[in-house]
Amino acid sequence: MRRKLAKIAGHLLEASIDDIVLEAGVAKVAGTDRAVPIANLARAAYHQLHLFNGEIEPGIAESATYDPPGTFSNACHVAIVEVDPETGRVTLEKFLVAEDAGRIINPMIVDGQIHGGIAQGIGNALLEEIVYDATGNVLTTTLADFLPPTAREIPPIELHHLETMSDMTITRAKGVGEGGTIGAPAAVLNAINDALAPFAVEINEMPATPQRIRAALRAAEKR
Amino acid sequence: MSEKRDVVLNINGRDHAVRVEPRRTLADAIREDCGLTGTHIGCEHGVCGACTVLVEGAPVRSCLMFAVQAGGKPIRTVEGLASGDELSVLQRAFMEHHGLQCGFCTPGFLMLVTGVLEREPDIGDEELIDVLASNLCRCTGYQNIIKAVRAAAQELRAK
């Protein structure tokens, strides 16, 4: 970007590109008072290309991408659940997460990513299942059978942030989003198993549907 | 039944004279025949609520209503919420509270809540969650949608 602006300025000021310095909103020839506002360079780049004998590509947009070595966020999830042993129904009372995504650039987006990830994890833990019949046909082909969570199933989520800067990225940020999905199912299942501990029942299959919980409780009663 | 019928759809105060098969859904007619693509079609079986519009002031799954059923009735879609450049109170609340990520479900949520708040301005926070549970969102985990809707309900009540 700097190079391109300097090149344009060099043309407009009839100076060598190496003598152009950019400062305080202008491009100037070092050691002189010859200067042109950067806004004018931008205008020239878009609207006055005839000035440059085809040596300047239109526009001043620059973009670059890079692929940092693996980064991941760390998080700790806690679910508080209520399990009704009569019906097997699980109600999430509250969800708490502390996570570390490195530098938080846009807090609103980071929070949104974590909320969404947790909701997907809760769906995974309690509701969403692709069921096949004995001959391999999918039985859960509609959203009336395959159940993503609604606003009713997702409890208030309390979020805490830690910011440990990452050395692996330019922005010192880490990835965020997946952490919500990965942590939530374990937290929910652990909470359910904790609630069912007095019945000596452990659920190790997701989703922990009322049917599965009741089946486990019935099996425990028979033992 | 494939013979086309003439229907006038009144959308956001403007009449659209369309010629549609009786089996044409209102959602398809709004998008394809009237060119108003703000109404999104998600599941097409009445579960997700992305296609919610207001018909005579009530939230309706436009994928479950035929266009011929809506003839002559006032229909409102997301395109009708803002007045000129000014967003509605609810739209602005969604923006301020980051109540959307990919935005696909947003028109449905906006129309659902607009309809409910007009009919029941004093609706309680818990009842609002029951209302919101009629539509699906895969991105937000609903937290910020709930925040936005509560803020908008409060602002509208204060007016």
For residue range B51-62, list pLDDT tens digits in order. 999 999 999 999
Identify the closest residue of chain A to B140 by CA–CA distance: A116
Cβ contact (<8 Å) for A112 and B98?
A: yes
Asked if B10 reaches chain A (Cβ–Cβ under 8 Å), the answer is no
Task: Provide, as residue numbers in chain A, all residues whose Cβ is less than 8 Å from the Cβ of B133.
Answer: 150-153
Cβ contact (<8 Å) for B132 and A144?
A: no
Cβ contact (<8 Å) for B43 and A143?
A: yes
SS3 B26: helix
Q: Is residue B143 a contact partner of residue B101, using CB atoms and an 8 Å limit? A: no
| Rounded Cα–Cα distance for residues A180 and A120 (Å) | 8
Cβ contact (<8 Å) for B43 and A120?
A: no
Asked if B103 reaches chain A (Cβ–Cβ under 8 Å), the answer is no
Cβ contact (<8 Å) for A151 and B47?
A: no
Q: Is the pLDDT of residue B72 over 80?
A: yes
Cβ contact (<8 Å) for B139 and A154?
A: no
Nearest to A154 among B45, B98, B142 (CB): B142
Asked if B55 reaches chain A (Cβ–Cβ under 8 Å), the answer is no
Identify the closest residue of chain B to A180 by CA–CA distance: B141
pTM of the model: 0.84
Per-residue three-class SS string for chain A:
CHHHHHHHHHHHHCCCHHHEEEECCEEEECCCCCEEEHHHHHHHHHHCHHHHCCCCCCCCCCCCCCCCCCCCCEEEEEEEEEECCCCCCEEEEEEEEEEECECCCCHHHHHHHHHHHHHHHHHHHHCCCCCECCCCCECCCCCCCCCCCCCCCCCCEEEEEECCCCCCCCCCECCCCHHHHHHHHHHHHHHHHHHHHHHCCCCCCCCCCHHHHHHHHHHHHHC
B1 confidence band (pLDDT: 50, 70, 90): low
Interface residue of A91, A152, A157 to substitute, partner B, most B CBs within 10 Å: A152
What tens-digit pLDDT sequence spans chain A (223 residues)? 888 888 899 988 988 888 998 888 899 898 888 899 999 999 989 998 888 888 888 888 888 888 888 788 889 999 999 999 999 999 999 999 999 999 999 999 999 999 999 999 999 999 999 999 999 999 999 999 999 999 999 999 999 999 999 999 989 999 887 778 899 999 999 999 999 999 999 999 999 999 999 999 999 998 8
Identify the closest residue of chain B to A143 by CA–CA distance: B47
Residue A69 dihedral angles phi and psi, to the nearest 5° = -60, 160
* Pair of tokens at residue B109: 């949520």
Nearest to A116 among B132, B134, B140 (CB): B140
Cβ contact (<8 Å) for B48 and A143?
A: yes
- pLDDT the model gives residue A180: 84
- pLDDT the model gives residue A48: 87
- pLDDT the model gives residue B146: 97
Q: What is the ipTM of this complex?
A: 0.91
- pLDDT the model gives residue B11: 98
* Pair of tokens at residue A91: 């109600």
- pLDDT the model gives residue B83: 95
- pLDDT the model gives residue A119: 97
For residue A163, the one-letter residue type is: E
Dump pLDDT digits (tens) for B2-19. 799 999 999 999 999 999
Q: How close does chain B come to A122, measured CA to CA in Å?
A: 10
Cβ contact (<8 Å) for A152 and B129?
A: yes
